[in-house]
Amino acid sequence: MTEPSPLPSTFQLTWTSDYKINGQRLSGFARTDTGEKLYVTYTLSSEHEKHFYENTLITGFTYIVQGELVAPNPPAHTYAFSFEKYLVSKGARGIFEVKSWTLMSENKTIGSVLANYRFLLKKHIETTFPPSLIAEAQSLLIGLRDHVDDELQRAYQKLGITHLFAISGLHVALICWLFYEGLLRVGIRKEMATIILLIILPTYGVVAGGAPSVIRAVAVVEIIMFMRLKGWYMAVEDALAISFIGFVLLEPGVIFQIGFQLSYLATASLIYSSVILQNRHWLTKTFLITFVCQLLVYPLLLYHFYELSISSFLVNIVFVPLFSFVILPMNILLLIVTFVSMPLAKLLFQIYEPLRTWLTEAILFFQALPLQLWSPGKPTIWLVCIAFISVLISLYLLETKHYFKVGIVLLVPALCIHFAPMLYKETKITFLNVGQGDCTIIELPFRRAVYAVDTGGVLRLRQEPWKLSNSPYEVGRQVVVPFLKGKGIRVVDILIVTHPDADHVEGAEEVLEEIRMREIHVTPGSLNTPAMQDLLAEATKQKVPVKEKMEGTSWQVGSTRFHYLSPHDTLYEGNNDSIVLFIQQGSFRALLTGDLEEAGERQLIKLYGHQLANMTLLKAGHHGSKTSSIEPFVELLRPALTVFSAGRNNRYHHPHDIVVERFRMRQLATKTTSIDGTIEVSVHGGKWIVRTEKDLVRK
């Protein structure tokens, strides 16, 4: 995205229905008086103001605003969420941070009126449904997922049933059928019922949230019904193609939305697989529907999410009919009854809620079973293309009943995708851009071993309850895990926790929940510190051994040797008791120093002296603070490259200007994650290469 051009100092913004409140922040999409779309953020000033916006729909509200147009932060790495791409997919120009605003008018349009009905339905569900059923009802009935529990959401993803909690063609078809049959039962003629449905259906699409899957389903039904009303026949695939073209013409950026891509691909898979599905037993047909849908979208799922639910092929045989014929109709019935008779609704809730709770417990049980996910990493574009070609060939073979050939055609590309991330000769040391923290991933050639040194983390400051985010930022889950999964790293052989500071270990529990680890190394005496408790609890739960390590520990894998040079005793006293890791592969030598400061560096000089001279790579201690990287240490090591791991605009001003100057005056190269993003050093055959988000430097 190019640098955003300036906006007038004062101008008008009108809110769309796509916004939310999270903690102290109100954010979402709004349009200027010239029709431009912006992603707008506003910091709420008080609990009273937050209460007002939580209980007032601002869709259609026009404000006179003052503020600043800012560029989105770049993604932490190749596999992380890109806000810039998100803005493009939404057709937004950029991010506008509101400094002050004044309400100008409340515009009543069809869109704002429908958004208001959706808002009222949201509030109605929150006040009438039991707390345990609110998230499900809002997801299935109006397309809102604000209340979905994170743990349950991960369980749905693991089992491959997330799609059942999004409004889709199934919901639209059911609503159409219920409404159409209801009109016929009260004596309305078919032609008039069709006309009424043509008018009502787009209304439902807006009230249901207007997600790509909803718009696609509504558009296809509208086109087919309109053509039949005129006495013309149109094939479903033609209606799907017209809706696709119309969607893209109206909002070109939607082509980049994952939901849009998956929705059209899955629908196309069913339309063009009618021969495969016909004359089948219902159980076989249910399996084949799931199989065909998953088959066509699996290359896309791997490209975007780097993993695929294996269990979904079996789980959906049960859950698709269960949601189609029980859970969705039950939620529709419960919503209707809450408007008619609350005593009757409460009676139905008493019956349904325990059953739904039991189902949730079953979901959590099954998702905990091993071998649920295939996580080969992000395939290259050419592998994605090969996978798509193999899928199309396999669908043809299914139609012609060459079942044995189907397995071969699908297996060969899948094996290529699975093993591709392991076919490299280099040792890779990656310094992840985790903000103000440390995380280093070490991959040995051909994936013989993978080590993680720290996991980053966020120091949680105490805040007033109303300011707390509903979904707090999690470095481990949102930065480290996507990197590991994107690289196809399924197992970390050793997690090395250099010391128990939040910015080094707070994200470890989140990583451990998603990535299997063989063992964890910690600095002696640190196990009882508060920052370690969540990690220890998760390690105990998963039966991962936690070992205290100190100076003298060493091991070798292939031609790469690893040594711990610190700490020197079992009493943990702070940063200078960080685990210091020395790595040697041929002439390449690297030193990762955790949060080592002056005293620790002097100790290394005293104990190892000239063994540390002329280092190839240094991960500077304590993010480049002025209490580390002292003159004698820098002079002794004279590293060819020094990496500072620090956050953008961090309040500590790391790396400190004095420290950076020590390296600059010696003409020693430095890179900083806050400036260069994630930094990768590849080592092979006596040569090493540095790759950043911005450049490729050969050494």
Same domain assignment for residues 182 and 314: yes
**Do 82 and 60 share a structural domain?**
yes
Record the tokens describing residue 209, joined without a space: 């949230």
- Residues above pLDDT 90, as percent of the chain: 64
DSSP letter at 165 equals G
Question: Does the structure show a pLDDT above 70 at 195?
Answer: yes
| 198 and 337, same domain (yes or no) | yes
Q: Which two tokens stand for residue 239?
A: 């209606």
In a domain, 5, yes or no: no
Phi first, then psi: give them for residue 249, nearest 5 degrees: -65, -40
Domain boundary among 50, 74, 107: 107
- Name beta bridge partners: 13: 32, 63
The average pLDDT across 35-39 equals: 93
Residue 2 lies in a domain: no
354, 411: one domain = no
Judgement on whether residues 47 and 79 belong to the same structural domain of the protein: yes
Mean pLDDT of the region 131-160: 86
Residue 301 falls inside a structural domain? yes
CA-CA distance, 376 to 207, in Å (whole number)? 38
Does residue 474 fall inside a structural domain? yes
pLDDT computed for residue 612 by the predictor:
94
Residues 147 and 63 in one domain: no
Question: Do 649 and 532 sit in the same domain of this protein?
Answer: yes
Q: CA-CA distance, 567 to 73, in Å (whole number)? A: 37
What pLDDT does 228 receive?
81
Residue of higher predicted confidence among 643 and 209: 643
Model pTM? 0.92
Domain range spanning residue 280? 273-308+376-423
Residue 3 lies in a domain: no
**Averaged pLDDT, 559-577:** 94
Same domain, 55 and 165: no
> Would residue 6 count as lying in a domain?
no
Phi/psi at 325 (5° precision): -110, -5
Q: Is residue 365, in this structure, part of any structural domain at all?
A: yes
Q: In which region does residue 548 sit, left (phi positive, over 0), alpha (psi from -120 to 50) or beta (all else)?
A: beta
Judged against a pLDDT cut of 60, whether residue 2 lies above it is answered with no
Report pLDDT digits (tens) over 343-395.
999 999 999 999 999 999 999 998 888 888 999 999 999 999 999 999 999 99
Residue at which a domain ends, from 107, 141, 160 = 107
Dihedral angle computed from the Cα positions of residues 132, 126, 41 and 674, in that order, rounded to the nearest 10 degrees = -10
Average pLDDT for the chain:
90
CATH of the domain at 29: 2.40.50.960
Q: What is the pLDDT of residue 233?
A: 84
Could you report the per-residue pLDDT of 321-351, keeping only the tens digit for each?
Answer: 888 889 988 999 999 999 999 999 999 999 9
Q: How far apart are CA 625 and CA 622, in angstroms?
A: 6
Nearest to 359 by CA among 196, 132, 197: 132
Provide the number of structural domains found in the chain.
4
Is 443 found in the same domain as 330? no
Residue 695 has a pLDDT of 55
Are 239 and 261 contained in the same domain?
Answer: yes
Q: Kindly tell me if the per-residue pLDDT of 697 is higher than 60.
A: no
Specify whether the CB–CB gap between 620 and 643 falls below 8 A: yes
- Helix H, strand E, coil C: the string for 171-232 is HHHHHHHHHHHHHHHCCCCHHHHHHHHHHHHHHHHHHCCCCHHHHHHHHHHHHHHHHHHCCC
Note whether 658 and 552 are same-domain residues: yes
Determine, yes or no, domain membership for 4: no
Poorest-pLDDT segment among 3-7, 52-56, 415-419: 3-7
User: Does one domain contain both 255 and 156?
Assistant: yes
Q: Which of 27-31, 284-288, 415-419 has the lowest mean pLDDT?
A: 284-288
Instruction: Give residue 694's pLDDT band: very low, low, confident or very high (50, 70, 90).
Output: low
The answer to whether 4 touches 93, Cβ cutoff 8 Å, is yes
Provide the pLDDT for residue 541. 93
Q: How far is CA 69 from CA 65, 98, 335, in A?
A: 12, 9, 42
Judge residue 158's burial from the number of C-beta atoms within 10 Å of its C-beta, 0-12 exposed, 13-18 middle, 19 or more buried.
Answer: buried
pLDDT tens-place string over residues 514-527: 999 999 999 999 99
Domain boundary among 107, 135, 161: 107
